[in-house]
Structure 1
Amino acid sequence: MLQSPKAANYIEGLNGIRALSALLVISTHWPSNFLSLKFGWIGVNIFFVLSGFLITRILLEEKKGRTIRNYLGRFYYKRFLRIFPLYYLFLALLSAVILLLSYNMPSLLKNELWMGGYNAVIKDMPYYLTYTYNLKINFRYLFHLADGSNQFFGHLWSLAVEEQFYLIFPFIVYYASLKNLKRITIAILIICPLIRLWACIYGLNIFEDKYWLGEFIYSNPVCQADALAAGAALVLFDFKIKKTYLFFFVVASVFLCVGLIQLYFLREAGYFLIEGKSLGYNFPGFWLAQPTKYFLINIRTFYLYDLVNLLAVSLILPFILNKPIFSWFFKSDIMEYLGRISYGIYVFHNPLIAFLRLIIEPFGGLKLLADHPILEITIFLTYLGIVIGISHLSYQFFEKKILAFKYHKNLELA
């Protein structure tokens, strides 16, 4: 077995962006208000855009001179090695822990947080095993399915979106010419926002559950396809940006200004629970459930996703052009390594928050954190150290050993 070499076309800094995305997601899931950043969900969309770029680049390279069977075999073999082993080991171990503790400590079944994880194992595991949990979210309202929200497995919906993308996009890349692939990418970038606009104007009159409709758009692969297409566009089109810092700051300024305008008018409409720390980008599930008298605010589902995706592009593109921004941060050894182990960080972070909440519950729970900011910071840093430590061990002693099979000398799938 060979050690994994650094690819010749490896782009430094992208792992740092991946690490930032993971930290943003952790921040938005942190249960106490003091350290929680309510706009941190944008880390998921940054992941999507980055995945769209990396996967498109890989597929175009794999396509050269290969039969469809060989092309798909190589791609899915490598994806299998990267994604499946950790994912299914995580499902197996966490399910076993939940079932064993439930059997030996039945009092846990009276806890609402714990019951969310227990029901996920008992009732919803087929969705997680088949990467279709996001589709359960999508069809929950239409088929009167039970709400499966939980802090143990619920975050895996985004991995399901990516897997569904992997099922379809390789075929599009193989059979479409470069010219047609560009056309398809542009079409997706146009159609997806229009679908969201339809939901803002007409969908609200069809579906009674406005929160579900917002959640549907957030977790549906079709509605999120433009994030992945934005990443693909970075491969397919020759973008020329001379002043990458200026490009980023212009996009970031527009992103911030639009968000703060949203925040102002939503507060004026009476939605005082939307925190200033959200910067106007509170969780998208609420966007359609917060009507105002302002049309442009009511249709923010139409354009805010585009702004988030554009922000991701403004972070990623400078590194592609070899004109990086904030190199001291994104290319630092720490961020580089955190990006390398970010898959584990993402998979492990939410159940560890759930266990932390269960541990502190007898001592006052979230109120304990709210009343003692220094204690919250200490607990958060300890938690973060544990998440990174477990992810490090997982990467070094499990994932890395499996990934080494990608570089076997005789790898040439028929």
Structure 2
Amino acid sequence: MKYVPALDGLRALAILLVLIFHWFPTNHWINTLPNGPMGVTLFFVLSGFLITSILINQRDTVGFFQAFKNFVARRALRIFPIYYAVLIGLLGLKKLLGIQIVSDFYQYPLYYWSYLYNHWLEKSQNWSDMLSPYWSLSVEEQFYIIWPMFVLGIASKRSLLTLLWCTTGIGLIARFVLIHQLNGIGVYMITCVDTFAWGGILAYYLKEGKEVQIKNVLTYVMPLAFIGFLYTTLLLTDQHLGKQLFFRTFTSIFSLGLIFGALQTNLWSRFLTTRPLREIGKVSYGLYVYHMVIPDLFYQLLNRIHISISDPYHVYGIVVLFGFSLASYYIFEKPIQSLKRYFV
């Protein structure tokens, strides 16, 4: 796939929603809508769209093993370096300076190292863990391992669309069983899998040249999805079956429309390509990985050297977070990503 600047703008909106959700109290007016779950769902749908597009193109040009090797290597180069750098850094800070964050990582490290943290969070339901946002990183990594096997190997070109539509149903069934009946919190990969499938459906139809048909369908579906989103969000409780099943569905369909609009030449895509959004989008992964950890460590270090500051709105923490993420991207992440050229 060619680089689409507007998609960086979408990443920026997604990460800003997550930051707002975590940096303001849940009862604050700005979090009337569930900004965090909205941002994560947008990330999932976007990942499903991009990954399915890449895999379809790979399948049409190279064999299974070459395509799978390229895909896994490129994902590893993008995802692993700063993720594992954070875990190593946390252990180092605890051992050398006695500084640590509030996290189950120190007691149950294997879940974090193996990208199975979402399974531990489902069991512990400990949202106070400062690495709790990493559940979505575990979900994405599990998706990256499983999905290529279906797209590149198991599913034929004809059956891929059937697989995608069936996967949207699998997510609903999984949420009914694991959330509604078993009182789970919905962080297993299978309870989120339909969000990726909605992005994959868009990728499939675009690959088939159905752009006009997609636009016509979204003209009618987007308003309905938005109404459904507002209804489940504002009028239903978290314990209501309708919200448990369909919040992610409505949010995914609406996200799909935002992605499709970003691919067109219009006012929306021009807004998304404004430089501030593009720059934030480029470092969105780092912002997500660091956003709970770096500000907290910054405040702890200030206390360690007896510097007291009044920062009720976390302004200094946000500045440090963005500065650290930018430095991480250009000094650490980008040079490593240049190695992707060996896996084209």
Normalised TM-score (structure 1):
0.72
**Counterpart in the other structure of 2:10:** 17
**Counterpart in the other structure of 1:28:** 21
**Counterpart in the other structure of 1:255:** 229
SS in 2 for 1:154: coil
Q: Are the counterparts in 1 of residues 164 and 201 from structure 2 also a CA contact under 8 Å? A: yes
CA offsets 1:278-321 (integer angstroms, 9 cap, x no match)? xxxxxxxxx23xxxxxxxx443201112111112112111123x
Q: Give distance in 2, aligned partners of 1:31 and 1:120.
A: 24
User: CA, structure 1 residues 59+354, in 2 after alignment: closer, same or farther (shift >3 Å)?
Assistant: same
**Counterpart in the other structure of 1:130:** 114
Normalised TM-score (structure 2):
0.85
Q: Give distance in 2, aligned partners of 1:46 and 1:171.
A: 23
Q: Are the counterparts in 2 of residues 245 and 325 from structure 1 also a CA contact under 8 Å? A: no
1:3-82 superposed matches below 5 A: 9-32=2-25, 34=28, 37=31, 39-41=34-36, 42-82=38-78
Q: Give distance in 1, aligned partners of 2:330 and 2:6.
A: 21
Q: Are the counterparts in 2 of residues 120 and 150 from structure 1 also a CA contact under 8 Å? A: no
**Range moving further from structure 2, 126-135 or 353-362:** 353-362
CA offsets 1:344-396 (integer angstroms, 9 cap, x no match)? 0000001134346758999xxxxx98xxxxx634x33x322221111110110
**Counterpart in the other structure of 1:301:** 244
**Counterpart in the other structure of 1:188:** 167
User: CA, structure 1 residues 195+246, in 2 after alignment: closer, same or farther (shift >3 Å)?
Assistant: closer
Q: Give distance in 2, aligned partners of 1:245 and 1:147.
A: 39
SS in 2 for 1:376: coil
Q: Give distance in 1, aligned partners of 2:159 and 2:121.
A: 33
1:214-293 superposed matches below 5 A: 215=185, 217=186, 219-237=187-205, 238=210, 239-241=213-215, 251-262=225-236, 287-288=238-239
Q: Give distance in 2, aligned partners of 1:48 and 1:96.
A: 32
CA offsets 1:381-414 (integer angstroms, 9 cap, x no match)? x322221111110110111101111125xx56xx
Indicate whether 1:392 and 2:335 are aligned. no
**Counterpart in the other structure of 1:162:** 140
Question: Cα distance, 1:151 vs. partner?
Answer: 4.0
**Counterpart in the other structure of 1:282:** none
Q: Give distance in 1, aligned partners of 2:244 and 2:299.
A: 32
**Counterpart in the other structure of 2:312:** 376
Q: Give distance in 2, aligned partners of 1:299 and 1:199.
A: 14
Question: Cα distance, 1:93 vs. partner?
Answer: 1.1
User: CA, structure 1 residues 351+243, in 2 after alignment: closer, same or farther (shift >3 Å)?
Assistant: same
Q: Are the counterparts in 2 of residues 120 and 148 from structure 1 also a CA contact under 8 Å? A: no
Which residue of 78, 101, 105 maps to 1:120?
105
Identity of aligned residues (%): 27
**Counterpart in the other structure of 2:149:** 171
Amino acid at match of 1:300: K
Amino acid at match of 1:23: L
Q: Give distance in 1, aligned partners of 2:218 and 2:158.
A: 27
Q: Give distance in 2, aligned partners of 1:154 and 1:357.
A: 19
CA-based RMSD of the aligned residues comes to: 2.9
Q: Give distance in 2, aligned partners of 1:198 and 1:149.
A: 21
Q: Are the counterparts in 1 of residues 139 and 189 from structure 2 also a CA contact under 8 Å? A: yes
Amino acid at match of 1:335: L
Question: Cα distance, 1:152 vs. partner?
Answer: 3.2
Q: Give distance in 1, aligned partners of 2:261 and 2:125.
A: 41
Q: Are the counterparts in 1 of residues 24 and 31 from structure 2 also a CA contact under 8 Å? A: no
User: CA, structure 1 residues 186+248, in 2 after alignment: closer, same or farther (shift >3 Å)?
Assistant: closer
SS in 1 for 2:244: helix
Q: Which runs of 5+ in 1 are unaligned?
A: 1-6, 109-113, 141-145, 267-286, 289-296, 363-367, 370-374
Amino acid at match of 2:249: D
**Counterpart in the other structure of 1:98:** 94
Q: Give distance in 2, aligned partners of 1:34 and 1:198.
A: 32
Question: Cα distance, 1:226 vs. partner?
Answer: 0.1
Question: Cα distance, 1:15 vs. partner?
Answer: 0.7
Q: Are the counterparts in 2 of residues 14 and 316 from structure 1 also a CA contact under 8 Å? A: yes
Q: Are the counterparts in 2 of residues 15 and 339 from structure 1 also a CA contact under 8 Å? A: yes
Which residue of 241, 265, 269 maps to 1:327?
269
